[in-house]
Structure 1
Amino acid sequence: MAALTCNAADLGALLGSATNLTAASYICDRFDTISTRLSDTTYAVDTTYLLFSAYLVFSMQLGFAMLCAGSVRAKNTMNIMLTNVLDAATGGLFYYLFGFAFAFGNPSNTFIGKHYFALKSITSPSTDYSNFLYQWAFAIAAAGITSGSIAERTQFVAYLIYSSFLTGFVYPVVSHWFWSSDGWASPMHSNLLFGSGVIDFAGSGVVHMVGGIAGLWGALIVGPRIGRFDHAGRPISLRGHSATLVVLGTFLLWFGWYGFNPGSFLNILKSYDDGRSYYGQWSAVGRTAVTTTLAGCTAALTTLFGKRLISGHWNVTDVCNGLLGGFAAITSGCSVVDPWAAIICGFVAAAVLIGCNKLAERLRYDDPLEAAQLHGGCGAWGIIFTALFAKEEYVNQVYPGKPGRPYGLFMGGGGRLLAAHVIQILVITGWVSALMGSLFYILHRMGLLRISEEDEMAGMDLTRHGGFAYAYDDDDDSFPSHQQKKKNGASFMMKATPPVRTDEV
């Protein structure tokens, strides 16, 4: 908020006497007090908005946990839940020590930040503790995406190592490139890439592609789960044990996405000074929430009918993944496109997800959460979509101060934004592949990546975590003992869902 100033000498001259000069000084003192209070109120409102958005994004961790738990078999529920908790905890420590500094430690060079390690000297008008909390919630979201790709056959120590490396270095460097004012491809950099910079508003590339590509390499190197493909290479469905948890996780992620996308404005009390007193950043926040909603809804319905034509079933799990694919795609351009364009984004995102899943089956690639296909594939589409449909008016509002900035190709803005976004896809793919692919390969060679065949068949809950997530037996004293129940044939056991060959569905 611009400071409002009052000069007593100038005001006294207008009033026209020495007495009025004293009055002018008094008026200016009161005016300055009011101006300071207004400025403080602006900071308080914007910080409250940012913190509330951070809490919404953090709630997505619960969504990830429920979605992952429901998508794996019951015998691995404890394992996947623990990895989700540790993603947040490990990510919090390493992002505090290194990640935030590498991402937003200004002033710095165009490649990596170099200030604010362990939040030293962080407090300033542009950066505060609330900024750290919000950005940390994004960092652990990227790590959560990766954990789903390698679920049900990965050693726990591998989760700790990759999560620390991803949140402490790999992801922060990417976010510095595209979100820091010093980043070489940032839309706020003084020397814009192709005169436009990259418009990745909330992270289709920075968050979703990073997490998806990391998961892609992890799943490729660790290999498919036992039984995922038969001896002829035909896919066999290893169904998750709880569609209820999948739906619960999806709705929690949907709720959190309203902090993920609209919250990425970082502030709300900002006027656009276009002659409309009712119109400002608060309006753009609302529009962003609407585009996010429409893209997800369209993708969900497209997936519903598309999968019905392919498989003959109305599958709730596929619909949930389609919905999330639409959200991942719109995340890049949510603030700079019209609602009608968001519908196109969701429609194509569903087609991208279905196509990526078909390709994964042909290549014998196993990802229990479809994370690489959903976040990587749909995230890449979202980056291209933004370069095609970004509207000039919205681009200039969200990224002011650069007259003549390129906008969407299909909106008449030329191809420079598209060229910048193609560069973004290539550099993210190369960076994450080089670092995370190498890390997973090293873990594989050291014997730290995949669990033994015996552990995988029995389930990691029993072999690695001390017991199952669910009570298989009723231990109430009013019932016969465990041994007696087994003797009488009265034990209560959960039955496994038999595998289904997907080419027969």
Structure 2
Amino acid sequence: MSGHPYDFNYNYYYYTDFNQTEKKDIILNTSSWLSLVRIVLVILLRVGFVLIHIGSVPVNNVNLILLQNIIDFCWVTIVYALVGSVIAYTGDIRGLLGAGYWIGDEIVDKDEIIIGWSAVVIAAAILTCGIVGRTHTVGYLVVGFLLAGLVQPFLIHWIWTPQGWIRTNVLQEREVHFHDWSGSVIVHLAGGLSGLIGCMILGRRILRLDAIDAASIAVGSAGTVFAGQLFVFIGLQSLGISNVQVQKFKVNSKREYNVFINNLLAGCSCSLLVVAFHFLLPREEFNHWTVMRCVQATVAGLVIISAGTDIYSPQVAISVATTGSVIFYLVSRQVFRSALEDYCNITAIHLACAFWGSLLVPFFCADEQADIKAILLNISWQLICLIAIIAFVAIVMLLAFGILQYIGLLRNRSEYLNHLRANIAEGRTGRKSFLERLFRIDRDAIYLQPGTSLND
């Protein structure tokens, strides 16, 4: 097959028979198409999250959800393009940040920029699950700026660029690596942790999620959420598409196909196991929330293997998803019985599963010739970096949400009134500590439907 860009006998792409002009044209054309596919997939994902918000978040004004989603999408895109991309890519300064080239400079790899854009837009969508319909517009803009303009761009540079200090470093005179192929940490953990912090600081309008009965759930909500989760599953495939400009066609095609096969198998495995848990374990009532968990598990399975989906065999992907299904199920049930208003279950789907998957990946990505010490050092480095990243994201977001609450720009008007009603009702029943309100199971907890008054 001399003269053809593909040589499938060796599962590698070759371009040595082409002159420089032909090589450049092929790379540019392929990159452009892949970037277009990536953009379309991310837009589908955002549509999916809008459907999830509409079907899950108890906000009387659906137009508010639609408006805040389009503001968030456009705002993080502009912020990332003008600020975040300068930090994430365009060169390197000591492994910490980019060299300062703006998006309009010819030296900037626009396809690489789109890869970072997909990461920040997806993480912003995850974050909105915890605060949508509840946050003041100014609060939305501030938190979106920090996530897309600072927090994630630094993580992208540290982890996804070859010079990043987290990606490769030296520990006890040995080279160690941090592995995150599809944004387990950069996207899911960062977005999930930010959303959890926002949800916790916003407080609650009800005292426990499981206080909502089936009668208060609108007809069609289940179908809306189901469709939304499938759109999210499809959209997350964008994070598995590699950058042709960087790879220069020297990519093992068989391995690249495994990325999407692994995603499919992991999602299906996790969902089937969660269905089995609901039917086999005692005291598990079959209702709206259990069905939603089974649907959410398809996305959770993909999140669990996202850190190492490029190196996993299909068998390993199924095994990792199997262990992750237990984590997802247990965390989901705990959140459901807590006072945390995580209607979209981002804590279990994105935060818990991303953390678990990132912990497991160093056990499978070690070189076959590596000794025990090298393997242990890589495991230690993965854990050290995970702790550092969690601390970094948590400090920034706690400060942001805390300051917004202090200056009165955290909650919108309807959210402020609902929160005030909940505090008054709680005062009548005896005030509890924050941890007691969040985690203590109380079967007689007061339930306040958003938009109702205490006299109803």
Q: Same fold (TM over 0.5)?
A: yes
CA shift at 1:372, angstroms?
A: 2.4
Q: 2:154 aligned with 1:173, yes or no? A: yes
SS of structure 1 residue aligned to 2:357? helix
Asked whether the equivalents of residues 142 and 211 of structure 1 are also in contact (C-alpha less than 8 Å), the reply is yes
**Alpha carbons of structure 1 residues 424 and 78: separation in structure 2 relative to 1, 3 Å:** farther
Distance 2:255 2:245 in 1: 12
SS of structure 2 residue aligned to 1:182? coil
Matches of residues 242-257 of structure 1 in structure 2 within 5 Å? 242-257=221-236
Q: Deviations over 1:400-445 (max 9, x none)?
A: xxxx678xx8xx9722221121122201110011101110000011
**Alpha carbons of structure 1 residues 175 and 133: separation in structure 2 relative to 1, 3 Å:** same
Asked whether the equivalents of residues 262 and 289 of structure 1 are also in contact (C-alpha less than 8 Å), the reply is no
From 351, 362, 375, the counterpart of 1:414: 375
Query: What amino acid is the match of 2:69?
Result: N
Query: What amino acid is the match of 2:284?
Result: S
Q: Deviations over 1:375-423 (max 9, x none)?
A: 1110001101211223647xxxxxxxxxx678xx8xx972222112112
From 397, 400, 403, the counterpart of 1:436: 397
1:217 matched residue in structure 2: 197
1:283 matched residue in structure 2: 254
Query: What amino acid is the match of 1:36?
Result: T
Q: 2:64 aligned with 1:79, yes or no? A: yes
Distance 2:133 2:217 in 1: 11
Distance 1:391 1:246 in 2: 39
Which ranges in structure 2 are unaligned for 5 or more consecutive residues? 1-15, 420-447, 451-456
The worse-fitting range, judged by mean Cα deviation, of 433-442 and 281-290 is: 281-290
CA shift at 1:317, angstroms?
A: 1.1
2:138 matched residue in structure 1: 157
Q: Deviations over 1:26-62 (max 9, x none)?
A: xxxxx99844313432342244224323332332111
SS of structure 1 residue aligned to 2:249? coil
Asked whether the equivalents of residues 100 and 135 of structure 1 are also in contact (C-alpha less than 8 Å), the reply is yes
Query: What amino acid is the match of 1:154?
Result: T
1:337 matched residue in structure 2: 312
1:105 matched residue in structure 2: 90
Distance 2:170 2:35 in 1: 26
SS of structure 2 residue aligned to 1:154? coil
1:360 matched residue in structure 2: 335
Query: What amino acid is the match of 2:388?
Result: V
**Alpha carbons of structure 1 residues 379 and 51: separation in structure 2 relative to 1, 3 Å:** same
SS of structure 2 residue aligned to 1:196? strand
Distance 1:302 1:266 in 2: 39
Q: 2:274 aligned with 1:300, yes or no? A: no
Matches of residues 37-436 of structure 1 in structure 2 within 5 Å? 37-73=22-58, 75-117=60-102, 119-121=103-105, 123-124=106-107, 127-187=108-168, 195-224=175-204, 226-229=205-208, 235-237=210-212, 241=218, 242-263=221-242, 270-271=249-250, 280-308=251-279, 309=281, 310-313=283-286, 315-361=290-336, 363-390=338-365, 392=367, 414-436=375-397
Asked whether the equivalents of residues 362 and 375 of structure 2 are also in contact (C-alpha less than 8 Å), the reply is no
Asked whether the equivalents of residues 88 and 98 of structure 2 are also in contact (C-alpha less than 8 Å), the reply is yes
2:443 matched residue in structure 1: none
Query: What amino acid is the match of 1:62?
Result: V
CA shift at 1:156, angstroms?
A: 2.7
**Alpha carbons of structure 1 residues 194 and 291: separation in structure 2 relative to 1, 3 Å:** farther
Asked whether the equivalents of residues 228 and 235 of structure 1 are also in contact (C-alpha less than 8 Å), the reply is no
2:426 matched residue in structure 1: none
Which ranges in structure 1 are unaligned for 5 or more consecutive residues? 1-30, 272-279, 394-403, 459-496, 500-505
- TM value normalised by structure 2: 0.79
Distance 1:258 1:269 in 2: 21
Distance 2:135 2:174 in 1: 42
CA shift at 1:193, angstroms?
A: 9.6
Asked whether the equivalents of residues 152 and 186 of structure 2 are also in contact (C-alpha less than 8 Å), the reply is yes
2:407 matched residue in structure 1: 446
Greater RCO, CA 8 A, separation 6+: 2
The worse-fitting range, judged by mean Cα deviation, of 67-76 and 136-145 is: 67-76
2:10 matched residue in structure 1: none
CA shift at 1:373, angstroms?
A: 2.5
- TM value normalised by structure 1: 0.72
* CA-atom RMSD in angstroms: 3.0
**Alpha carbons of structure 1 residues 190 and 114: separation in structure 2 relative to 1, 3 Å:** farther
Asked whether the equivalents of residues 184 and 193 of structure 1 are also in contact (C-alpha less than 8 Å), the reply is no
Distance 2:405 2:141 in 1: 14
CA shift at 1:136, angstroms?
A: 0.9
Aligned residues: 399
Asked whether the equivalents of residues 111 and 243 of structure 2 are also in contact (C-alpha less than 8 Å), the reply is no
Distance 2:19 2:383 in 1: 49
SS of structure 2 residue aligned to 1:227? coil
Query: What amino acid is the match of 2:411?
Result: R
Query: What amino acid is the match of 2:322?
Result: F
Distance 2:242 2:60 in 1: 37
SS of structure 1 residue aligned to 2:177? coil
Query: What amino acid is the match of 2:257?
Result: G
Asked whether the equivalents of residues 61 and 141 of structure 1 are also in contact (C-alpha less than 8 Å), the reply is yes
1:23 matched residue in structure 2: none
Distance 1:41 1:453 in 2: 54
Distance 2:415 2:449 in 1: 19
SS of structure 1 residue aligned to 2:339? coil
Distance 1:193 1:374 in 2: 37
**Alpha carbons of structure 1 residues 295 and 455: separation in structure 2 relative to 1, 3 Å:** same
Query: What amino acid is the match of 1:439?
Result: A
Structure number with larger C-alpha Rg: 1
Asked whether the equivalents of residues 68 and 132 of structure 2 are also in contact (C-alpha less than 8 Å), the reply is no
Asked whether the equivalents of residues 136 and 410 of structure 2 are also in contact (C-alpha less than 8 Å), the reply is yes
Distance 1:92 1:190 in 2: 35
SS of structure 2 residue aligned to 1:75? coil
